[in-house]
Structure 1
């Protein structure tokens, strides 16, 4: 017992030093773990505010928590005098190995985060992305699910979506219908133009502002082509498109204005 007391008396400064270091390490660990939890909750709230899928928000929040918590442990060990350089090197090497092994998945994950942050589209939008078109149903961590008009489900990797052009047909409230209507060269262009305008004037779903355009655009090989460009609400695009195509054909037929089709003349020569 005397030996122990003598050792304590001789090393009291060292014991006090390490005790203080241990207390500081515990304080760092306690505060760091609280900060990690706070960052996790803040991340989840930020994703909830942007109305992002809860699974995605929870996943990103857990990653934020793990990073902050790992940094806290390293700081606490460093405060105790433990050399953390080797730990950091090991973690770095492990992270590099995992990154190389999961390169494609990490690329999809990073692209998913960009989709969430930049919001080029949202659930319910009709988009063209990665060479496919459909209505967005779910935006997940590694992929995005779309549904085509004929009810096919497309699961698209997020990296492919972000690596290509994205066309969002639903973001704006209005869209322009672009039609090309060809009439014969023998047709009266003024009459044909008047017929096209009369069809547009009868269509109640067309917007007054901006006004529609009807103009000659091309003297093609077999026809004189008109561009017909009315504006509609995005929700009315396809019903209006189909009805205009039908009504224009009927109106031109009633006015005896032909819509020509490509023709090829074949000449036969007889040799003696």
Structure 2
């Protein structure tokens, strides 16, 4: 019963009834659901049991921290994944390609939370180079961003490689080579641009996942983001907080996917909005 979380120990029955009426918990479940659905359109996602604050306020207080971590992890995944995938595709069936496959396999096989613990052990406990937790500057951001972005770097590597290989087998790429265009022009100006479509899709999905699903990473590094807020809500049985965070995450997924669809037309001229 959520009322037990809101009432003081030893509260009387009339106090419990008053809390139920105040929070609308005396209404039938269908009525409570309809009220929740109605409030979604006004941005009112309820009030947190634990923080005694609107869920939307809590969410947007933590959102900048999660965005900071997600963008840093995305940058790391881009720096590692896309160039490595590009090199693997251009140097297919060589030592460079095999090295890229090993990096991708390692990135997909190693859990982010385990990598985070290893990073803490090496760079904080043994070497003392980086702080273990908290948010206080760029040095606090390095280890959680690497732990969060490594898996997505591996997935970007694999997708970039496969997409580039598919594009480089296309007829227009063969024609560009027959015209005598330099190899770097064919790759940079023709092949890579068209290979970016699936990569952009995955990058957008990865960004949403990083923002909303970095629960364990944020807990390990005590990063005050949305993931840690969700973790606190679950363990404190703060039902409005959990509902609100999940709802905001769903809205963010829809908006980012819509943005990606719009960007398609600017990357690939074959994709245009039709009347």
The verdict on a shared fold, with TM-score over 0.5 as the criterion, is no
> Normalised by the shorter chain, which TM-score bucket?
under 0.3
- Tell me the TM-score normalized by structure 2: 0.20
Instruction: Identify which of structures 1 and 2 has the higher relative contact order when contacts are C-alpha pairs closer than 8 Å and 6+ apart.
Output: 2
Q: Tell me which protein shows more strand as a share of its residues.
A: 1
Bigger-Rg structure (1/2): 1
